[in-house]
Amino acid sequence: MAKEPGKVSVSEGYLAFLHDELSENQARLRELLGDSQSRAIFSFAADRLVKTVEAGKYGFSPIEGITQKMKEWGMTVSQKDKGAVVEVEIGCPYAETVHPQLTSKEPRCPLGEYVLGAVRLEDSKSQLLHNALTEKGVRFVIKKA
Protein backbone atom coordinates (compact mmCIF):
# COMPACT_ATOMS: atom_id res chain seq x y z
CA MET A 1 0.00 0.00 0.00
CA ALA A 2 1.41 3.42 -0.99
CA LYS A 3 1.90 6.00 1.73
CA GLU A 4 -0.03 9.26 1.32
CA PRO A 5 2.17 12.37 1.33
CA GLY A 6 2.12 14.05 4.75
CA LYS A 7 0.73 10.95 6.52
CA VAL A 8 2.34 8.46 8.88
CA SER A 9 0.98 5.44 10.69
CA VAL A 10 0.62 5.97 14.43
CA SER A 11 -0.09 3.27 16.97
CA GLU A 12 -3.44 3.56 18.76
CA GLY A 13 -1.55 2.67 21.94
CA TYR A 14 0.66 5.71 21.42
CA LEU A 15 -2.38 7.96 20.97
CA ALA A 16 -3.85 6.53 24.18
CA PHE A 17 -0.54 7.22 25.94
CA LEU A 18 -0.61 10.88 24.83
CA HIS A 19 -4.16 11.27 26.17
CA ASP A 20 -3.18 9.65 29.48
CA GLU A 21 0.01 11.70 29.74
CA LEU A 22 -1.89 14.96 29.36
CA SER A 23 -4.59 13.84 31.80
CA GLU A 24 -2.11 12.78 34.46
CA ASN A 25 -0.02 15.94 34.07
CA GLN A 26 -3.13 18.09 34.49
CA ALA A 27 -4.25 16.07 37.52
CA ARG A 28 -0.84 16.54 39.19
CA LEU A 29 -0.90 20.27 38.47
CA ARG A 30 -4.33 20.54 40.12
CA GLU A 31 -3.04 18.60 43.15
CA LEU A 32 0.10 20.71 43.51
CA LEU A 33 -1.17 24.16 42.59
CA GLY A 34 -4.89 24.04 43.13
CA ASP A 35 -7.62 24.56 40.59
CA SER A 36 -7.13 28.28 39.99
CA GLN A 37 -3.38 28.14 39.34
CA SER A 38 -3.58 24.99 37.23
CA ARG A 39 -6.30 26.64 35.09
CA ALA A 40 -4.01 29.64 34.59
CA ILE A 41 -1.16 27.41 33.39
CA PHE A 42 -3.51 25.47 31.11
CA SER A 43 -4.84 28.72 29.64
CA PHE A 44 -1.37 30.17 29.04
CA ALA A 45 -0.31 26.90 27.39
CA ALA A 46 -3.43 27.05 25.19
CA ASP A 47 -2.51 30.58 24.11
CA ARG A 48 0.91 29.40 22.96
CA LEU A 49 -0.25 26.09 21.48
CA VAL A 50 -2.81 27.58 19.10
CA LYS A 51 -0.08 29.81 17.63
CA THR A 52 2.16 26.82 16.82
CA VAL A 53 -0.34 25.53 14.29
CA GLU A 54 -1.05 28.89 12.69
CA ALA A 55 -4.80 28.91 13.36
CA GLY A 56 -4.73 32.68 13.23
CA LYS A 57 -3.49 32.77 9.64
CA TYR A 58 -6.99 32.21 8.28
CA GLY A 59 -8.98 35.24 7.11
CA PHE A 60 -11.92 34.30 9.34
CA SER A 61 -12.28 33.57 13.05
CA PRO A 62 -9.65 31.51 14.87
CA ILE A 63 -12.24 28.86 15.80
CA GLU A 64 -13.07 28.47 12.10
CA GLY A 65 -9.34 28.21 11.41
CA ILE A 66 -8.82 25.34 13.83
CA THR A 67 -12.02 23.71 12.59
CA GLN A 68 -10.51 23.69 9.11
CA LYS A 69 -7.24 22.25 10.46
CA MET A 70 -9.04 19.48 12.38
CA LYS A 71 -11.08 18.59 9.29
CA GLU A 72 -7.75 18.17 7.46
CA TRP A 73 -6.86 15.71 10.25
CA GLY A 74 -10.02 13.67 9.51
CA MET A 75 -12.24 15.03 12.28
CA THR A 76 -15.69 16.58 12.25
CA VAL A 77 -16.36 19.72 14.27
CA SER A 78 -19.57 21.39 15.35
CA GLN A 79 -19.92 24.54 17.41
CA LYS A 80 -22.85 26.04 19.31
CA ASP A 81 -22.69 29.51 20.79
CA LYS A 82 -25.01 29.93 23.76
CA GLY A 83 -24.42 33.46 24.99
CA ALA A 84 -21.23 33.46 27.04
CA VAL A 85 -20.74 29.72 26.52
CA VAL A 86 -19.28 27.97 23.48
CA GLU A 87 -19.84 24.23 23.04
CA VAL A 88 -17.56 22.43 20.61
CA GLU A 89 -18.03 18.78 19.69
CA ILE A 90 -15.38 16.92 17.76
CA GLY A 91 -15.90 13.62 16.03
CA CYS A 92 -12.59 11.81 16.02
CA PRO A 93 -11.82 8.79 13.82
CA TYR A 94 -9.67 7.35 16.64
CA ALA A 95 -12.11 7.74 19.54
CA GLU A 96 -13.82 4.36 19.32
CA THR A 97 -10.52 2.50 19.53
CA VAL A 98 -8.37 4.88 21.62
CA HIS A 99 -10.78 5.99 24.35
CA PRO A 100 -11.40 2.46 25.70
CA GLN A 101 -7.62 2.05 26.13
CA LEU A 102 -7.24 5.09 28.41
CA THR A 103 -6.24 4.36 31.99
CA SER A 104 -6.31 7.82 33.55
CA LYS A 105 -8.99 8.44 36.20
CA GLU A 106 -10.00 11.68 34.49
CA PRO A 107 -9.18 11.26 30.81
CA ARG A 108 -8.97 14.44 28.76
CA CYS A 109 -8.64 15.15 25.08
CA PRO A 110 -5.43 16.96 24.09
CA LEU A 111 -7.43 19.08 21.64
CA GLY A 112 -8.95 20.97 24.58
CA GLU A 113 -5.96 23.28 24.80
CA TYR A 114 -6.09 23.86 21.05
CA VAL A 115 -9.79 24.77 21.04
CA LEU A 116 -9.45 26.95 24.14
CA GLY A 117 -6.49 28.75 22.58
CA ALA A 118 -8.54 29.61 19.50
CA VAL A 119 -11.40 31.00 21.59
CA ARG A 120 -8.92 32.97 23.73
CA LEU A 121 -7.49 34.65 20.61
CA GLU A 122 -10.79 36.56 20.48
CA ASP A 123 -11.68 36.55 24.20
CA SER A 124 -8.50 36.35 26.28
CA LYS A 125 -10.18 35.52 29.59
CA SER A 126 -12.14 32.49 28.36
CA GLN A 127 -11.84 29.29 30.41
CA LEU A 128 -12.40 25.64 29.58
CA LEU A 129 -15.19 24.37 31.84
CA HIS A 130 -15.68 20.88 30.48
CA ASN A 131 -13.53 18.39 28.55
CA ALA A 132 -15.60 15.22 28.26
CA LEU A 133 -14.69 12.29 26.07
CA THR A 134 -17.58 10.76 24.18
CA GLU A 135 -17.95 7.49 22.34
CA LYS A 136 -17.21 9.22 19.05
CA GLY A 137 -14.91 12.04 20.17
CA VAL A 138 -15.07 14.83 22.70
CA ARG A 139 -17.25 17.70 23.88
CA PHE A 140 -15.78 20.94 25.19
CA VAL A 141 -17.61 23.71 27.03
CA ILE A 142 -15.83 27.06 27.16
CA LYS A 143 -17.01 30.09 29.10
CA LYS A 144 -16.19 33.44 27.61
CA ALA A 145 -15.37 36.27 30.01
What are the pLDDT digits (tens) for 85-134? 999 999 999 999 999 999 999 999 999 999 999 999 889 999 999 999 99
Answer whether residue 56 shows pLDDT above 60: no
Taking residues 12-35, what's their average pLDDT?
A: 93
- Mean of all residue pLDDT scores within the chain: 89
Question: What confidence tier does 8 reach under pLDDT thresholds 50, 70, 90?
Answer: confident
Asked, for residue 70, whether it belongs to a domain, the answer is: yes
* pTM assigned to the model: 0.84
Asked, for residue 64, whether it belongs to a domain, the answer is: yes
More confident residue, 2 or 117: 117
Asked, for residue 1, whether it belongs to a domain, the answer is: no
Domain that holds residue 129: 12-143
More confident residue, 145 or 30: 30
pLDDT tens digits for range 69-95: 899 899 999 999 999 999 999 999 999
Asked, for residue 7, whether it belongs to a domain, the answer is: no
Asked, for residue 6, whether it belongs to a domain, the answer is: no
Asked, for residue 62, whether it belongs to a domain, the answer is: yes
The answer to whether 108 and 99 have CB atoms below 8 angstroms apart is no
Asked, for residue 21, whether it belongs to a domain, the answer is: yes
**Long-range contact pairs involving 63-69 (C-beta distance under 8 Å, separation at least 24):** 63/88, 63/115, 63/118, 63/119, 63/122, 65/118, 66/114, 66/115, 66/118
Answer whether residue 58 shows pLDDT above 60: no
Per the structure, how many domains does the chain have?
1
Asked, for residue 69, whether it belongs to a domain, the answer is: yes
* pLDDT value, residue 53: 65
The answer to whether 96 and 121 have CB atoms below 8 angstroms apart is no
What CATH number does the domain containing 94 carry? 3.30.1380
Beta-sheet pairing, 85-91 with 76-82: antiparallel
